[in-house]
Amino acid sequence: MILGKKLIVVMPAYNAEKTLRQTYEELPHEYVDDVILVDDASRDTTAKIAGKLGVRTIIHTENMGYGANQKTCYREALKLGADIVVMVHPDYQYSPRLVTAMASMIASGHYDIVLGSRVLGGDALKGGMPLYKYISNRFLTLVENLMLGIKLSEYHTGYRAFTREVLETLPLEENSDDFVFDNEMLAQAIYFGFKIGELSCPTRYFEDASSINFSRSLKYGFGVLATSLKYGLQRLKIKKFSIFDSKGKRLITNAKFQA
């Protein structure tokens, strides 16, 4: 726990057998109350290794997508009574040791969401981020800052921390089951008035770190632009979208917590 708040780490996993153990072992277990791994029909031994580590593991029998994986992660964390949820990718691309810092920023009451930014420290390229991804990251972030009316260093990190309130309030079931889920979630958070903080996070790009290919990246980029456009149209009251509907479908209602 951190400041009396229950901290749960969630790991959306796909083919992470080579990096899962190292990621798990570097978590600050003295503060983490529980770890949930959702295996999205991996073709390797990810789930088996998670079981050996004693990680609470949920298996999708078929590949449902990165967004759908996160939905399961957050749904289960809420059922377990989490006050703070930190998403850590088990591919060891982001440092698990920063979980404490991110959760503390949430527990302080200053922020509802905290992002581990690969850009703030200025070492994204040194960490191995492909040049085309860095350029597209900067371009999309510029467009989004203009469209969404705030200033973040990046919107595309997969290292994130949330309050329980965020996960219960946002209509996350309205979001994509694919990679653009991440971006839709941040746009929703801004629309609903949640406060977002950032901290610098070193990143590692290596053979076993998960990464989407160029065609998927292109699809994601267009999805990001579409999300920003939807946000603008909704704000201007020109058109309504379900992802910004306060009555949209949420992850769970009337959750019964498990001790």
Per-residue pLDDT tens over the stretch 202-228 = 887 656 555 566 777 889 899 999 999
Residue 246: predicted pLDDT: 93
Q: What angle is formed at CA 258 by the lines to CA 254 and CA 259, rounded to 5 degrees?
A: 140
Computed over every residue of the chain, the mean pLDDT equals: 91
Residue 209: predicted pLDDT: 52
Residue 235: predicted pLDDT: 95
Q: Which helix (H) or strand (E) holds 147?
A: helix 131-148
Segments making up each domain of the chain, as ranges: 7-244
Residue 258: predicted pLDDT: 38
Residue 230: predicted pLDDT: 97
What is the β-pairing status of strands 7-13 and 34-40?
Answer: parallel
CATH architecture of 7-244: Alpha-Beta Complex (3.90)
Residue 211: predicted pLDDT: 58
Read off the pTM: 0.91
Contact in structure between 172 and 185 (CB atoms under 8 Å): yes
Classified as helix, coil or strand, 149 is coil
Residue 104: predicted pLDDT: 97
Ranges of the chain with pLDDT below 70: 127, 205-213, 253-259
Residue 259: predicted pLDDT: 33
Residue 210: predicted pLDDT: 54
